[in-house]
Amino acid sequence: MGAVRDPEATRARIFDAAVAEFARHGIAGARIDRIAAEAKANKQLIYAYFGNKAELFTHVLEKKMLDLAAAVPVLPDAMDAWIDRLLDYHAAHPELLRLLFWEGLEYGTRELPDEAERQDHYARKVATLRDGQERGIISDAIPARDLLFLLVAMANWAAVVPQMKRILVGGEDTDADRLRASIKEAARRLVAT
Protein backbone atom coordinates (compact mmCIF):
# COMPACT_ATOMS: atom_id res chain seq x y z
CA MET A 1 0.00 0.00 0.00
CA GLY A 2 1.40 3.41 -0.99
CA ALA A 3 1.92 6.40 1.28
CA VAL A 4 -1.17 8.46 2.05
CA ARG A 5 -0.91 11.95 0.63
CA ASP A 6 -1.79 14.82 2.90
CA PRO A 7 -1.67 18.07 0.92
CA GLU A 8 -2.16 20.28 4.00
CA ALA A 9 0.69 18.59 5.86
CA THR A 10 2.89 18.97 2.78
CA ARG A 11 1.99 22.65 2.46
CA ALA A 12 2.80 23.14 6.16
CA ARG A 13 6.18 21.42 5.78
CA ILE A 14 6.98 23.56 2.74
CA PHE A 15 5.92 26.70 4.59
CA ASP A 16 8.07 25.90 7.64
CA ALA A 17 11.05 25.03 5.47
CA ALA A 18 10.58 28.26 3.50
CA VAL A 19 10.46 30.34 6.68
CA ALA A 20 13.75 28.84 7.85
CA GLU A 21 15.40 29.14 4.43
CA PHE A 22 14.36 32.76 3.84
CA ALA A 23 15.27 33.80 7.39
CA ARG A 24 18.71 32.23 6.96
CA HIS A 25 19.51 33.30 3.40
CA GLY A 26 17.15 36.09 2.35
CA ILE A 27 15.24 36.20 -0.90
CA ALA A 28 18.19 36.19 -3.27
CA GLY A 29 20.15 33.56 -1.35
CA ALA A 30 17.28 31.16 -0.67
CA ARG A 31 17.12 28.02 -2.80
CA ILE A 32 13.94 26.19 -3.73
CA ASP A 33 15.84 22.89 -3.88
CA ARG A 34 16.88 23.29 -0.21
CA ILE A 35 13.29 24.11 0.76
CA ALA A 36 12.08 21.03 -1.12
CA ALA A 37 14.69 18.80 0.51
CA GLU A 38 13.90 20.09 4.01
CA ALA A 39 10.15 19.74 3.41
CA LYS A 40 10.51 16.30 1.82
CA ALA A 41 8.55 17.59 -1.16
CA ASN A 42 9.38 18.06 -4.79
CA LYS A 43 10.06 21.47 -6.31
CA GLN A 44 7.07 21.22 -8.63
CA LEU A 45 4.75 21.04 -5.62
CA ILE A 46 6.27 24.21 -4.21
CA TYR A 47 5.66 26.04 -7.48
CA ALA A 48 2.15 24.61 -7.71
CA TYR A 49 1.22 25.62 -4.16
CA PHE A 50 3.03 28.94 -3.84
CA GLY A 51 4.28 30.15 -7.23
CA ASN A 52 7.84 31.33 -7.80
CA LYS A 53 10.42 32.10 -5.12
CA ALA A 54 9.42 35.76 -4.77
CA GLU A 55 5.74 34.79 -4.43
CA LEU A 56 6.64 32.17 -1.83
CA PHE A 57 8.59 34.78 0.15
CA THR A 58 5.65 37.21 -0.02
CA HIS A 59 3.28 34.48 1.18
CA VAL A 60 5.62 33.50 4.03
CA LEU A 61 6.09 37.06 5.24
CA GLU A 62 2.39 37.89 4.97
CA LYS A 63 1.44 34.84 7.04
CA LYS A 64 4.10 35.57 9.68
CA MET A 65 2.89 39.18 9.98
CA LEU A 66 -0.70 38.04 10.35
CA ASP A 67 0.42 35.65 13.09
CA LEU A 68 2.06 38.58 14.90
CA ALA A 69 -1.01 40.79 14.46
CA ALA A 70 -3.24 38.09 15.93
CA ALA A 71 -0.88 37.28 18.80
CA VAL A 72 0.07 40.86 19.71
CA PRO A 73 -2.63 43.39 18.85
CA VAL A 74 -1.78 47.06 19.48
CA LEU A 75 -3.13 48.02 22.91
CA PRO A 76 -3.33 51.80 23.40
CA ASP A 77 -4.95 51.21 26.80
CA ALA A 78 -2.03 49.04 27.95
CA MET A 79 1.13 50.16 26.18
CA ASP A 80 3.48 48.53 28.74
CA ALA A 81 1.78 45.18 28.21
CA TRP A 82 1.88 45.64 24.43
CA ILE A 83 5.61 46.41 24.46
CA ASP A 84 6.24 43.37 26.70
CA ARG A 85 4.22 41.12 24.39
CA LEU A 86 5.97 42.51 21.32
CA LEU A 87 9.42 41.94 22.84
CA ASP A 88 8.45 38.44 23.96
CA TYR A 89 6.96 37.57 20.57
CA HIS A 90 10.09 38.55 18.67
CA ALA A 91 12.31 36.74 21.16
CA ALA A 92 10.26 33.58 20.54
CA HIS A 93 9.93 34.18 16.77
CA PRO A 94 13.15 35.87 15.59
CA GLU A 95 12.51 34.77 12.01
CA LEU A 96 9.89 37.48 11.41
CA LEU A 97 12.32 40.35 11.94
CA ARG A 98 14.92 38.54 9.87
CA LEU A 99 12.40 38.18 7.05
CA LEU A 100 11.53 41.87 7.25
CA PHE A 101 15.22 42.80 7.28
CA TRP A 102 15.91 40.64 4.20
CA GLU A 103 12.89 42.18 2.49
CA GLY A 104 14.29 45.63 3.21
CA LEU A 105 17.65 44.67 1.74
CA GLU A 106 16.02 43.21 -1.36
CA TYR A 107 13.40 45.87 -2.09
CA GLY A 108 14.72 49.00 -0.40
CA THR A 109 12.21 51.75 -1.11
CA ARG A 110 10.75 50.01 -4.18
CA GLU A 111 7.12 48.91 -4.05
CA LEU A 112 6.51 45.50 -2.50
CA PRO A 113 4.54 42.80 -4.32
CA ASP A 114 1.86 42.96 -1.61
CA GLU A 115 2.10 46.70 -0.92
CA ALA A 116 -1.66 47.34 -0.79
CA GLU A 117 -2.26 44.49 1.65
CA ARG A 118 0.67 45.66 3.79
CA GLN A 119 -0.69 49.21 3.86
CA ASP A 120 -4.06 47.85 5.02
CA HIS A 121 -2.33 45.75 7.69
CA TYR A 122 -0.54 48.77 9.13
CA ALA A 123 -3.51 51.12 8.65
CA ARG A 124 -5.48 49.00 11.13
CA LYS A 125 -2.68 49.30 13.71
CA VAL A 126 -2.36 53.05 13.13
CA ALA A 127 -6.15 53.42 13.50
CA THR A 128 -5.95 51.69 16.88
CA LEU A 129 -3.31 54.17 18.07
CA ARG A 130 -5.24 57.11 16.58
CA ASP A 131 -8.32 55.94 18.48
CA GLY A 132 -6.26 55.99 21.69
CA GLN A 133 -5.15 59.52 20.84
CA GLU A 134 -8.72 60.66 20.16
CA ARG A 135 -9.83 59.17 23.48
CA GLY A 136 -7.02 61.09 25.20
CA ILE A 137 -5.31 58.02 26.67
CA ILE A 138 -2.14 58.49 24.64
CA SER A 139 -0.51 61.69 23.45
CA ASP A 140 -1.26 63.09 20.03
CA ALA A 141 2.02 65.06 20.00
CA ILE A 142 3.37 62.55 17.46
CA PRO A 143 1.15 61.49 14.54
CA ALA A 144 -0.16 57.93 15.06
CA ARG A 145 1.68 56.47 12.05
CA ASP A 146 5.01 57.95 13.21
CA LEU A 147 4.31 56.84 16.77
CA LEU A 148 3.71 53.25 15.67
CA PHE A 149 6.95 53.30 13.67
CA LEU A 150 8.93 54.66 16.63
CA LEU A 151 7.46 52.22 19.16
CA VAL A 152 8.00 49.21 16.90
CA ALA A 153 11.53 50.37 16.09
CA MET A 154 12.41 50.66 19.78
CA ALA A 155 10.99 47.27 20.56
CA ASN A 156 12.52 45.51 17.55
CA TRP A 157 15.93 47.04 16.98
CA ALA A 158 17.80 44.97 19.59
CA ALA A 159 16.58 41.76 17.96
CA VAL A 160 17.58 42.99 14.50
CA VAL A 161 21.11 43.97 15.54
CA PRO A 162 22.00 41.70 18.48
CA GLN A 163 25.69 42.48 18.09
CA MET A 164 24.99 46.18 18.66
CA LYS A 165 22.83 45.33 21.67
CA ARG A 166 25.62 43.20 23.16
CA ILE A 167 28.28 45.88 22.59
CA LEU A 168 26.24 48.88 23.77
CA VAL A 169 23.91 47.39 26.37
CA GLY A 170 25.73 44.25 27.47
CA GLY A 171 25.09 40.57 27.00
CA GLU A 172 23.94 39.49 30.45
CA ASP A 173 20.34 38.76 31.46
CA THR A 174 20.43 41.77 33.78
CA ASP A 175 21.40 43.93 30.82
CA ALA A 176 18.46 42.60 28.79
CA ASP A 177 16.12 43.28 31.72
CA ARG A 178 17.46 46.82 32.05
CA LEU A 179 17.04 47.44 28.32
CA ARG A 180 13.46 46.16 28.43
CA ALA A 181 12.71 48.53 31.29
CA SER A 182 14.33 51.38 29.34
CA ILE A 183 12.32 50.61 26.21
CA LYS A 184 9.12 50.56 28.24
CA GLU A 185 10.02 53.84 29.95
CA ALA A 186 10.78 55.46 26.57
CA ALA A 187 7.46 54.16 25.22
CA ARG A 188 5.62 55.54 28.25
CA ARG A 189 7.20 58.95 27.66
CA LEU A 190 6.29 58.91 23.96
CA VAL A 191 2.63 58.18 24.69
CA ALA A 192 2.23 60.15 27.94
CA THR A 193 -0.56 62.72 27.83
Whether residue 1 has pLDDT greater than 70 = no
Average pLDDT over residues 110-120: 91
- pLDDT of res. 56: 96
* Spatial separation of the C-alpha atoms in residues 93 and 38, rounded to whole Å: 19
Within a domain: 122: yes
The per-residue pLDDT for 2 is: 42
Encode pLDDT of 71-110 as tens digits.
999 999 999 999 999 999 999 999 999 999 999 999 999 9
**Domain extent at residue 87:** 54-191
Shortest CA distance to 183 belongs to which of 94, 111, 83, 90?
83
- Please write the tens of the pLDDT for every residue from 42-75: 999 999 999 999 999 999 999 999 999 999 999 9
The answer as to whether 139 is a domain residue is yes
Assess if residue 29 is contained within a domain.
no
> Domain total for the chain?
1
CA atoms in the 13 A half-sphere facing the CB of 50: 32
Note whether residue 162 is domain-resident.
yes
CATH code of residue 98: 1.10.357.10
**pTM, to two decimals:** 0.87
